[in-house]
């Protein structure tokens, strides 16, 4: 098809009658489910929502337009005794959650916080993070979940953006970054630092008192300042009213603030249920992903609370704690990176594991929803996780999801009852349209590699304090739909499944030729002995970092086999690595993703095999 034909095609779809649209939606749904087979339509973007696996507009028409705080109150006012949050052995009911939100509202109101102001919250997944968000929503303010390792200059600029005067920060983070925040306090509009003891909302907090820092205010003392205040009326809903700032991971450049609205967050919750997610009262979500990302805040925070689910919170972010707590809390949902879930391997090998599961101290039988995202999940990753789930007694399978902070957490996901394909991240959630585009922003046909672009009603309003980045959006000239560039490479299958292959900047220049590193990785990962790998340049040579499933007897022979297979599949020796490094695991960054910066800075342990002799001999040099 030419682009002229694409315009005709899309125009025809826009002019379909309501009945014809229903027939088309049903056809596409059955095509995706594999219940029927049919010829490819040619292009994936049919209208909003893409492929219409669900009638999203029909679903949301009876839901009121409201702020996130109004939605929380409305949906849970009749269930005040139900548990909302579990935190270090303490159960916080919805009544207590509401009470704590109102108490913070009064304190912020007395301090002069009003509609349009910003409050800064450097908080991980602890109850005070949720109190802060909903209190800001109540007042019409914006809660900026500022990650502690942001550059000082960016901190100051973002704090000054809305003349934010109050910083609420967890004690261990303030202690770790005290010099940074003290300098920021001097150079920004900040007037007060409110320090939250880690165990403040746990009964254990009464036993273990938090540290006090000169020049700061303890959180409970700050809340007491609002006692006796006449609580203001809740700020009424306005379309596109800001409520939160989360931050990008920084894997593609400087970390950037992402401004989300009440609509962004509520629409995410409204999208998940018709998609097929098991969201209901009593379901338990394990929240460990930091709330300064949209996954931690929205997918693991506001969406479960919207439906009256339970958040089991733990601010400690490491694979062993993550894996242990899913069993200890008997969670139904686990969402994290492959690196986080890999902690299950070590947990399950401990001698006491069998005893702990028999005594139901660790119980994974309730874990029936496991979503892996944040980094590329290979078929090997999923296969190993599925083996792990079976070994520990969980009925879950490793499902992929895909999204960015800019798009309001996830925009696609896999479901157990739909087909799974290699490198598929599932189908779009309701309200999301995903297409592949070329460098000129023209939509590409099915099964054609390009940059993935997303249109969603769950996405950001804009980057926070970055008017220079408005070009991240573009509008389709045919139907007027606004899309966001993702910087990700992939394509859309003819049945609507999205294939994610890697980052657009994951490239190397080898002998003057530009290649995608993930093309090499996809060949290597299919080797039966390889569990995981990464590919990029090191000392002007293409390098493969390898994690093997088991010890390899003749490692040099394995390197030669890998080189030969790459040449056989990709037909060009520019794809053949000359450096290899064997490792047991990959480092994880504070952003919750793989630490590529640390990998690229490693200098030792490389094996050099020139590619011009990969098929003839097995000599190597140790660097």
Measure the CA–CA gap between 160 and 157, rounded to whole angstroms: 5
Instruction: Give me 553's structure tokens.
Output: 């007897």
pLDDT at 377: 77
Helices 555-570 + 517-524 axis angle, to 10: 120
Q: Where are the beta strands (DSSP E) in 464-596?
A: 473-475, 482-492, 498-503, 507-510, 513-516, 530-538, 541-548, 579-582
The 10 Å Cβ neighbour count of residue 111 is: 18
pLDDT score of 2 more than 60: no
Whether 506-622 and 67-238 are alike in CATH topology: the answer is no
Split at pLDDT 50, 70, 90, the class of 477 is confident
pLDDT at 8: 62
Measure the CA–CA gap between 389 and 391, rounded to whole angstroms: 5
The 10 Å Cβ neighbour count of residue 584 is: 7
Query: Assign residue 426 a region: left if phi > 0, alpha if psi is -120 to 50, beta otherwise?
Result: left
Mark 343-362 as b/e (b = at least 16 C-beta within 10 Å): bbbebbeeeebeebbeeeeb
Helix (H, G, I), strand (E, B) or coil at 349: helix
Burial environment of residue 551 by CB neighbours within 10 A (0 to 12, 13 to 18, 19 or more): exposed
In tens, the pLDDT along 153-193 reads 999 999 999 999 999 999 999 999 999 999 999 999 999 99
In tens, the pLDDT along 273-309 reads 877 788 889 899 999 889 999 999 999 999 999 999 9
Q: Which residues contact 17 (CB under 8 A, 6 or more apart)?
A: none
Of residues 29 and 379, which shows the higher confidence score? Answer: 379
The 8 Å CB, 24+ separation contacts for 411-419 are 411/454, 411/456, 411/458, 412/498, 413/275, 413/277, 413/371, 415/275, 415/276, 417/33, 417/276, 418/32, 418/33, 418/34, 419/33, 419/34, 419/495, 419/497
Task: Judge whether 226 and 124 are in contact, CB under 8 Å.
Answer: no
Measure the CA–CA gap between 215 and 461, rounded to whole angstroms: 36
Nearest to 55 by CA among 27, 16, 22, 15: 22
Measure the CA–CA gap between 307 and 190, rounded to whole angstroms: 35
Summarize the confidence of residues 388-394 as an average pLDDT: 92
Tell me yes or no: is domain 3-52+433-502 CATH 2.30.38.10. yes
Measure the CA–CA gap between 231 and 209, rounded to whole angstroms: 30
Of residues 278 and 330, which shows the higher confidence score? Answer: 330
Task: Judge whether 202 and 196 are in contact, CB under 8 Å.
Answer: no
* Residue listed under structure tokens 């140790």: 622
Give backbone dihedrals phi and psi of 49, rounded to 5 degrees, phi first.
-85, 155
Of residues 142 and 42, which shows the higher confidence score? Answer: 142
The CA angle 5-10-12, to the nearest 5 degrees, is 95
Split at pLDDT 50, 70, 90, the class of 430 is confident
pLDDT at 273: 80
- CA 577 to chain CA mean position, Å: 31
Instruction: Give me 109's structure tokens.
Output: 């109101």
Summarize the confidence of residues 497-518 as an average pLDDT: 93
Domain ranges of the chain: 3-52+433-502, 67-238, 506-622
Task: Judge whether 552 and 514 are in contact, CB under 8 Å.
Answer: no
pLDDT score of 244 more than 50: yes
pLDDT score of 228 more than 50: yes
Split at pLDDT 50, 70, 90, the class of 44 is very low
Q: What is the mean pLDDT of the chain?
A: 86
Measure the CA–CA gap between 132 and 100, rounded to whole angstroms: 9
Of residues 17 and 55, which shows the higher confidence score? Answer: 17
pLDDT at 488: 93
Tell me yes or no: is domain 506-622 CATH 3.30.300.30. yes
Task: Judge whether 8 and 473 are in contact, CB under 8 Å.
Answer: no
pTM, 2 dp: 0.86
Query: What are the distances in angstroms from CA 143 to CA 167, 190, 425, 441, 549?
Result: 10, 14, 30, 34, 44
pLDDT at 614: 46
pLDDT score of 481 more than 70: yes
Split at pLDDT 50, 70, 90, the class of 253 is low
Measure the CA–CA gap between 435 and 432, rounded to whole angstroms: 10
Summarize the confidence of residues 128-148 as an average pLDDT: 97
Task: Judge whether 421 and 497 are in contact, CB under 8 Å.
Answer: yes
Measure the CA–CA gap between 16 and 55, rounded to whole angstroms: 16
In tens, the pLDDT along 545-597 reads 999 988 998 999 999 999 999 999 999 999 999 999 999 888 877 766 778 88
Under CATH, to which class is 67-238 assigned? alpha beta
pLDDT score of 336 more than 90: no
The 10 Å Cβ neighbour count of residue 4 is: 8
Measure the CA–CA gap between 281 and 265, rounded to whole angstroms: 19
Query: What are the distances in angstroms from CA 369 to CA 92, 178, 235, 241, 492?
Result: 24, 39, 36, 32, 25
Split at pLDDT 50, 70, 90, the class of 11 is low
Strand partners, 482: 475
Nearest to 615 by CA among 559, 555, 544, 564: 564
Q: What is the CA radius of gyration of the chain?
A: 25
Instruction: Give me 272's structure tokens.
Output: 């998940």
Q: DSSP character for 407? A: G
Instruction: Give me 241's structure tokens.
Output: 């009213």
* Residue listed under structure tokens 């910083």: 167
Measure the CA–CA gap between 411 and 404, rounded to whole angstroms: 8
pLDDT score of 493 more than 80: yes
Listing DSSP states for 479-491 in one string gives T--EEEEEEEEEE
* Residue listed under structure tokens 């998940």: 272
Of all residues in the chain, what percent carry a pLDDT higher than 90? 57
């Amino acid at each position: 098809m030419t682009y002229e034909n694409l315009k005709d095609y899309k125009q025809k779809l826009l002019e379909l009658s309501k009945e014809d649209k229903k027939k088309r939606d049903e056809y596409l749904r059955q095509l995706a489910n594999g219940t029927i087979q049919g010829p490819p339509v040619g292009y994936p973007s049919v209208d909003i929502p893409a492929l219409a696996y669900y009638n999203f507009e029909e679903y949301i028409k009876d839901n009121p337009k409201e702020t996130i705080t109004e939605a929380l109150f409305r949906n849970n006012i009749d269930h005040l005794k139900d548990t909302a949050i579990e935190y270090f052995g303490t159960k916080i009911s919805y009544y207590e959650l509401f009470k704590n939100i109102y108490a913070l509202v009064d304190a912020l109101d007395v301090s002069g916080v009003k509609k349009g102001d910003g409050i800064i919250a450097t908080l991980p997944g602890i109850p005070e993070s949720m109190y802060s968000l909903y209190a800001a929503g109540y007042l019409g303010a914006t809660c900026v979940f500022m990650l502690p390792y942001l550059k000082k200059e960016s901190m100051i600029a973002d704090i000054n953006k809305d003349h934010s005067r109050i910083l609420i920060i967890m004690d261990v983070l303030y202690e770790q970054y005290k010099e940074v925040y003290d300098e920021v306090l001097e150079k920004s509009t900040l007037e007060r630092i409110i320090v939250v003891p880690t165990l403040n909302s746990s009964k254990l907090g009464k036993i273990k008192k938090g540290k006090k820092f000169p020049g700061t205010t303890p959180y409970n003392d700050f809340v007491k300042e609002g006692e006796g205040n006449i609580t203001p009326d809740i700020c009424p809903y306005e379309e596109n009213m800001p409520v939160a700032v989360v931050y990008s991971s920084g894997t593609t450049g400087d970390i950037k603030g992402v401004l989300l609205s009440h609509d962004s967050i509520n629409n995410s919750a409204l999208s998940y249920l018709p998609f097929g997610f098991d969201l209901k009262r009593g379901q338990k979500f394990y929240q460990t992903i930091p709330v300064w990302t949209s996954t931690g805040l929205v997918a693991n925070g506001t969406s479960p609370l919207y439906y009256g689910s339970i958040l089991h919170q733990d601010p400690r972010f490491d694979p062993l704690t993550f894996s242990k707590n899913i069993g200890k809390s008997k969670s139904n949902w686990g969402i994290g990176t492959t690196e986080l879930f890999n902690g299950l391997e070590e947990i399950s090998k401990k001698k006491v594991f069998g005893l702990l599961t028999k005594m139901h101290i660790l119980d994974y039988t309730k874990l029936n929803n496991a979503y892996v995202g944040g980094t590329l999940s290979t078929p090997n990753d999923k296969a190993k996780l599925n083996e792990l789930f079976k070994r520990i007694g969980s009925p879950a399978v490793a499902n992929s999801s895909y999204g960015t902070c800019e798009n309001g957490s996830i925009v696609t996901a896999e479901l157990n009852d739909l087909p799974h394909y290699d490198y598929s991240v599932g189908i779009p959630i309701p309200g999301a349209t995903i297409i592949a585009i070329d460098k000129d922003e023209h939509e590409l046909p099915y099964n054609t590699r390009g940059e993935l672009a997303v249109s969603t009603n769950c996405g950001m309003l804009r980057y926070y304090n970055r008017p220079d980045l408005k070009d991240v959006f573009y509008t389709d000239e045919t139907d007027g739909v606004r899309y966001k560039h993702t910087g990700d490479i992939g394509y859309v299958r003819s049945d609507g499944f999205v294939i994610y292959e890697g980052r657009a900047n994951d490239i190397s220049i080898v002998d003057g030729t530009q290649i995608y590193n993930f093309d090499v990785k996809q060949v290597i990962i299919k080797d039966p002995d390889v569990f995981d790998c990464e590919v990029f340049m090191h000392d002007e040579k293409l390098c493969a970092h390898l994690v093997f499933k088991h010890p390899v007897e003749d490692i040099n022979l394995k390197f030669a086999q890998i080189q030969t297979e790459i040449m056989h599949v990709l037909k060009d020796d520019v794809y053949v690595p000359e450096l290899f490094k064997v490792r047991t695991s990959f480092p994880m960054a504070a952003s919750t993703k793989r630490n590529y910066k640390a990998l690229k800075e490693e200098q030792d342990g490389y094996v050099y095999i020139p590619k011009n002799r990969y098929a003839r001999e097995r000599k190597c040099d140790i660097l």
